[in-house]
């Protein structure tokens, strides 16, 4: 995402990065240096030590964090003490107000609380814009963003949506406005609940077909041309040699960790309890992901297939 931002924002703008993963930051800077070539000049990138430093220097701040507690902690650091006013600096807006775009997957209630804190403590705007598309989508700038921000014209909210959309389009191919604050996250939790279930079903279907003697490549081709096709079967298939660039090609490294899928599933279950929605398969899926995480650690969640495969005994599956 950072590479796509730096490549597409105006050359005069500066991309300021703050990441607790210093190794990832180092690799990013090295890649930019390499792209610049010998004697070349790296495009404007600055490394910040704190999230507060990023906010003080920036007009548009994009946050991506794992858990609700992380997002709350970061925004507490950003908002206390009160941020100084900021003149317009970039080409994305003529307004002097900062824009916070949170792409984290957290619960809608926490996001609304953060939005209220931002709007009440500074002349800034906050929107929730979780994303879908995985690591592959982030690299290729083909992500889908689910936007939660007011769309009516009062208080400039219509302008806010128009301001946010082109920024997100630098990192993705589609921005879907889901409604007011928190609505983007509501859409994301519904989507990721479906993903959690379809990932398990894909692993089980591939395991079943292979145990019945089918060639995995032919089986995947059949599924992906039939009614069973889904993102997990087509883009993130758990069998090596089927989905180019997928985590299965790299021993399930570098994708969406099992623990993050388990976290999102838990958030969807919490939202379901609060809204009165029935999720019949949720507890079964939650238990399975707990077992897979205990066995496989931080591997991509498609490693469910390998967990199932290890449990095969003859023509049955161990329980």
Active site amino acids: 188
Q: With contact defined as beta carbons under 8 Å apart, do 191 and 183 qualify?
A: no
Q: Single out the residue of 75, 74, 170, 186 nearest to residue 128, CA to CA.
A: 186
Give the residue among 84, 74, 77 at the shortest CA–CA distance from 111.
74
Q: What share of the chain is helix, strand, coil (3-state, %, to 5)?
A: 50, 15, 35
Give residue for tokens 């079943």.
208
Angle, alpha carbons 265-101-155 (nearest 5°): 120
Q: Are 258 and 289 in contact (CB under 8 A)?
A: yes
| Residue 271, CA distances (Å) to 62, 73, 101, 182, 213 in order | 24, 22, 22, 12, 41
Q: Which residue bears the tokens 């936007």?
A: 147
* 257 strand-pairing partners: 300
Q: Is the dihedral of CA 30, 31, 33, 37 positive or negative?
A: positive
* Residue bearing tokens 């995947």: 220
Among 306, 278, 281, 312, smallest CA distance to 292 is for 306
Q: Residues 220, 192, 107, CA angle at the centre, nearest 5°?
A: 170
DSSP single-letter state for residue 122: S
- Residue 81: asked if its preceding bond is cis (omega within 30°), the reply is yes
């Amino acid at each position: 995402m950072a590479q796509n931002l730096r490549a597409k924002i105006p050359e005069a703008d500066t991309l300021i990065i703050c990441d607790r993963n210093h190794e990832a930051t180092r690799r990013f800077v090295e890649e930019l240096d390499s792209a610049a070539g010998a004697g070349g000049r790296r495009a404007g990138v600055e490394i910040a030590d704190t999230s507060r430093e990023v906010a003080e220097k920036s007009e548009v701040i994009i946050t991506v964090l794992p858990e609700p507690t992380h997002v709350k902690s970061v925004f507490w650091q950003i908002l206390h003490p009160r941020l100084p006013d900021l003149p317009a600096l970039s080409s994305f807006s003529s307004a002097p107000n900062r824009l916070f775009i949170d792409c984290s997957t957290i619960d809608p209630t926490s996001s609304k609380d953060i939005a209220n804190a931002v709007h009440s403590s500074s002349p800034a705007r906050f929107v929730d814009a979780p994303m879908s598309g995985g690591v592959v989508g982030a690299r290729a700038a083909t992500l889908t963003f689910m936007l939660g921000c007011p769309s009516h014209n009062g208080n400039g909210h219509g302008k806010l949506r128009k301001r946010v959309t082109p920024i997100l389009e630098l990192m993705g191919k589609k921005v879907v406005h889901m409604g007011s604050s928190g609505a983007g996250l509501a859409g994301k939790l519904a989507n990721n609940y479906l993903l959690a279930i379809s990932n398990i079903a894909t692993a089980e279907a591939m395991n079943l077909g292979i145990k019945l003697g089918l060639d995995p490549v032919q089986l995947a081709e059949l599924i992906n041309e039939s009614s069973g096709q889904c993102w997990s079967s087509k883009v993130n298939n758990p069998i090596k040699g089927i989905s180019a660039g997928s985590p299965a090609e790299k021993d399930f490294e570098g994708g969406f960790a099992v623990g993050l899928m388990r976290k999102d599933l838990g958030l969807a279950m919490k939202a379901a309890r609060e809204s009165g929605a029935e999720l019949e398969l949720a507890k079964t899926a939650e238990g399975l992901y707990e077992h897979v995480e205990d066995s496989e650690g931080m591997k991509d969640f498609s490693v469910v297939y390998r967990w199932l495969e290890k449990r095969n005994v003859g023509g049955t599956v161990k329980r």
